[in-house]
Amino acid sequence: MLGIPVILFLIILLFSAILHEIAHGVAAEYFGDDTARMMGRITLNPISHIDPFLTILLPLSLFLFGSPVIFGAAKPVPVNYYRLRNFRWGVFWVSIAGILTNLFLAFVFTLPMRFMQVSQPVQNLFIGIAEINVFLAVVNMIPIPPIDGSKVIAALLGERAINKITALEYRGIWGLLPFIVLIFILFSSAGFQNIMMPVIAFFFRLFGIPA
């Protein structure tokens, strides 16, 4: 990714994922569920957000296996969807908040290159941040549980679909493990990458990120 060091890449990925999760928590609080704040998750402290699998093992495995798409995530913030006001649209906005946050970050970090002269190292850093956030946003659009896109689509379909998706999440790792394995397999397949890359390229063009 533009030659930025791996350690810097991982730090950017971590904090982009943390802001993604904080956005879910803030949106949930706005709609009436303060579970994330009560559990200390509305914070930039990375210790509160690190998940051994999603934050460390998953991106490291994808990197080691040579996947062109490196995906990781912070520990999901706890949300009690049934405490949300306007249940259906509360779920929609809570679920899409992280995606919108990553797209906003990508937009913000491309602005300086449009309106001012920046050095090449700073430009590489800003473009790297924008790229990582576009990747996170697009990956989280995938409509497979537990990815955010599944709940966004479920909210558009109605409460019955939301209940089916949330029931999987409330079962914990055993309810979601088959989907996590499926996601890992998909990320390793050329066909799936061929679907994702045009979407990523669209946002690169939209934000003026060099391909």
What pTM, to 2 d.p., does this model score? 0.87
Asked whether the predicted pLDDT for residue 2 surpasses 60, the reply is no
Give the 3-state secondary structure of 91-128. Answer: HHHHHHHHHHHHHHHHHHHHHHHHHCCCCHHHHHHHHH
Identify whether the C-beta of residue 24 lies closer than 8 Å to the C-beta of residue 79: yes
Average pLDDT rounded to a whole number, residues 11-22: 92
Asked whether the predicted pLDDT for residue 187 surpasses 80, the reply is no
Average pLDDT rounded to a whole number, residues 26-40: 96
> How do the domains of the chain map onto residue ranges?
6-207
Asked whether the predicted pLDDT for residue 88 surpasses 80, the reply is yes
Average pLDDT, the chain: 86
pLDDT value for 28: 97
pLDDT value for 72: 65
pLDDT value for 86: 92
d(CA 74, CA 25): 13
Identify whether the C-beta of residue 110 lies closer than 8 Å to the C-beta of residue 183: no
d(CA 92, CA 89): 5
Which residue carries 């803030």 as its tokens? 26
Residues with catalytic annotation? 21
d(CA 155, CA 92): 5
Average pLDDT rounded to a whole number, residues 13-34: 95
Q: Where are the alpha helices (DSSP H) in the chain?
A: 6-30, 35-38, 58-64, 87-115, 120-139, 148-157, 159-170, 173-187, 190-207
Q: What are the tokens at 164?
A: 């089916």
State the CB neighbour count (10 A cutoff) for residue 110. 21
Identify whether the C-beta of residue 100 lies closer than 8 Å to the C-beta of residue 195: no
The more confident residue out of 101 and 72 is: 101
Average pLDDT rounded to a whole number, residues 113-128: 86
By three-state DSSP, how is residue 85 classified? Answer: coil
